[in-house]
Structure 1
Amino acid sequence: MEPQEVPPRQLLERQVAVVATLGEVVAAVTGRHRDARQRVSPVFLRAALGSFTRNLCEILDHGDVTSLRYFGVPSLGRALAAFEATPEACDNAIAAVVAWRKMVDALQGRWGQLACEAAELCAATTQARDPQDKAARRGTDRDKLVAAGRWPTVDWDWEEEEEVASVGGTRDAWEAAAASEEEVAINEEEVAMSEEELAANEEEAAINKEEVAIKEEELATNEEELATNKEEVATSQATGEAVVAASRARAAARRGHWAEAALEPLQRLVAACDSAIAFTRNMQFYLWEINVILKFGDQASRDVLEALEAKVAEFQQLWDASARLCREYLLGTLELIDKLLLSPYGGPGGPSGPGSRVVTERCREAIENIPRLLWGQ
């Protein structure tokens, strides 16, 4: 068991620090930010902070030494008085220490859970401040069915045919000459017709060239219009993407207004909860010392009895001071914090709101009165 290092006053101040820091978080999420139209914080954060506030209330309101007797927790003072009167009552005193140790251990566990809640709120706020918009990539693995159509193949038997023309050599020479003259006349007529067709074709070709030139000019005009349209489309797409990006940036910035304001006090709230756990560690150390004296001390020695009385008195004094601190100052402050969380937008919350100022003032007053509470006044 490590020796206690934190003075009692600081232990109680750390409890007040948790409440004060919670008040700063609530002031941050209920205040106005740069964009007045945007909700100051999402519903989940207010609900989570409300649950955190109630859990903190239950932890701090652990009851004093007298009231705990009605819940089955024995009084260490009474157990020690019985021990002084009858030394054989040592087992009863040790049993009382064990009962207190179980309750303090449970309280320490609840402080640890509260610190985890604060850490989760801090992580959620960090994500809201730095949103990472990731495009959803959905892969659809589907089997591609390829229909392969087979045409029936037909084997064809190709046969090469040859025509052999034979000319009879018995024709007369005049018949051959006559045929040649007729062919020449036909050829001359065909040439004349070809020249006429060629002239017509040349005229038609000239007309076609003119039409082609006109079409090429129209095509050039169309290509220029197409290029202009493509440029306009690209400009429109770029403008649309810029508008969408700017809209998303503004939305992200609005979401980040409350998160940016709440993140720093939330981080301090996590640290404050971790620091406040020292109260239960110190109480465990007191109980460990008392148990060691009961088990291994000389029961007949007056010094041992005085040491027991001193340790039990310190334990009960600190425990009761913590209970009074909660009852007289912190419970009312936590109730006010809960009301601020339930108040409508633009209500008494916010860093400069009247409700937040009252929370700060009550926490300051609680710290100023800790010495009085420790002295039992």
Structure 2
Amino acid sequence: MPVLLRQRSVPKVSPVSMEPQELSPALLHSPVTVVAILGELLATLPSLDEMTLLVSPLHLYWDLMDFTNELRDSLCTDETWRHRNVTYDDDDPFTSDDDDPPASLSQALAKSTPWTSKFDVQMVAWVWQRSVAALKDRWAHLVRTATKLPNACRDLATKAADMVATTTARDREQQAKTVHYWTAQENMVELGQALGGEERAEVVARRESWVRKEAMVAASEATRATMVRQRVEAALGLLERLVAACDEATAFPQELQRLLWDTLAALKGTKKQSFNVPEDLVAKVAVAERLWESNTHLVKDHLVGTLQDIF
């Protein structure tokens, strides 16, 4: 693999600007927002047990599980490029015990020392560039996955609205029957007492218990259906925000990729040793390294720690 990489040339890009694209910690706001919205969504969306009144709610849950897994993969960035030495061999006669080897790409770009070779610096930049390209592809796919979710939730919201109408009508009907029964019951009880029919009174009592139970069930289902509809509609709003946040989050790998192309292009025109990279470009590489590490922490500190199994 190193041999193949050594033979590759930096693709043609526009001349390196002395003012590369601005990199800011704000680029991570959208990925953080995606994680936050997903956590809120899972707390809002009714459980499968609560959704039993609806027909075929599983589709949304399976799609949501796929999205969650893809998000975890998208936030788990490749750190292997960090572990590649940007140094000469330890036995190199030109090294000095007073020179500390650069610990990062930005340090290597900032100061050419006997430890630093242009080829090794390029290799680190290439490995990182490939990791960023993979991250960019994963986020693009994540956006496509996210767009499926509102459609599935919108279908459930329609079913939930229909279920509310059905259960509410049934509740009203049952309540009307209950009111009608109380009037008829009084007449039957009075008639039974007038005829001395204790057995008739017992039948009326059992019938009363059944009517009460049916009325309670109808009222409970109507209340439950209303709750499900409200939460599904709230989840739909969150999903629409989620799609927008995912789309905005694609800017993070895009800006990193643009910066690395600028870095590789800048290295292409420098000498083998004592290469000179613009200071503002070096500073932005340092910011990019911190952003990359923060992106990884999103998984450890937010996603894994807060999101539970959606089932």
CA-CA distance at 1:285 after TM superposition: 2.2
Match of 1:100 in 2: 128
Runs of at least 5 residues in structure 1 that lack an aligned partner in the other structure: 134-249, 343-377
Rg: which structure is higher? 1
Of the structure 1 ranges 290-299 and 265-274, higher mean CA displacement relative to structure 2 is found in: 290-299
CA-CA distance at 1:269 after TM superposition: 0.5
With over 3 angstroms needed to count, the CA separation of the structure-2 counterparts of 1:259 and 1:324, relative to structure 1, is closer
Among 240, 262, 287, the residue aligned to 1:314: 287
Among 245, 256, 259, the residue aligned to 1:272: 245
Runs of at least 5 residues in structure 2 that lack an aligned partner in the other structure: 1-13, 86-102, 163-221
Supply the distance in 2 between the matched residues of 1:83 and 1:41 (Cα, whole angstroms).
Answer: 63
Supply the distance in 2 between the matched residues of 1:309 and 1:65 (Cα, whole angstroms).
Answer: 20
Of the structure 1 ranges 102-111 and 7-16, higher mean CA displacement relative to structure 2 is found in: 7-16
Supply the distance in 2 between the matched residues of 1:57 and 1:36 (Cα, whole angstroms).
Answer: 26
Root mean square deviation of aligned Cα: 4.1
The one-letter code of the counterpart of 2:46 is T
Deviations 1:124-178 (A, max 9, x none): 22233346x9xxxxxxxxxxxxxxxxxxxxxxxxxxxxxxxxxxxxxxxxxxxxx
Match of 1:45 in 2: 60
Counterpart check, 1:292 vs 2:265: yes
Supply the distance in 2 between the matched residues of 1:66 and 1:285 (Cα, whole angstroms).
Answer: 18
With over 3 angstroms needed to count, the CA separation of the structure-2 counterparts of 1:68 and 1:19, relative to structure 1, is farther
Percent identity, aligned pairs only?
A: 35
Matches for 1:109-120 after TM superposition, within 5 Å? 109-120=137-148
Match of 1:304 in 2: 277
CA-CA distance at 1:82 after TM superposition: 9.4
Supply the distance in 2 between the matched residues of 1:300 and 1:67 (Cα, whole angstroms).
Answer: 22
Counterpart check, 1:57 vs 2:46: no
Supply the distance in 1 between the matched residues of 2:249 and 2:55 (Cα, whole angstroms).
Answer: 29
> TM-score with structure 1 length normalisation?
0.47
Q: Is the 8 A contact 1:84 1:305 kept in 2?
A: no
With over 3 angstroms needed to count, the CA separation of the structure-2 counterparts of 1:324 and 1:69, relative to structure 1, is farther
Supply the distance in 2 between the matched residues of 1:40 and 1:85 (Cα, whole angstroms).
Answer: 69
Among 135, 153, 164, the residue aligned to 1:125: 153
Q: Is the 8 A contact 2:54 2:156 kept in 1?
A: no
The one-letter code of the counterpart of 2:35 is V
CA-CA distance at 1:300 after TM superposition: 7.0
Matches for 1:358-377 after TM superposition, within 5 Å? none
Q: Relative contact order (C-alpha < 8 Å, sep 6+): which is higher? A: 1
| Aligned residue pair count | 214
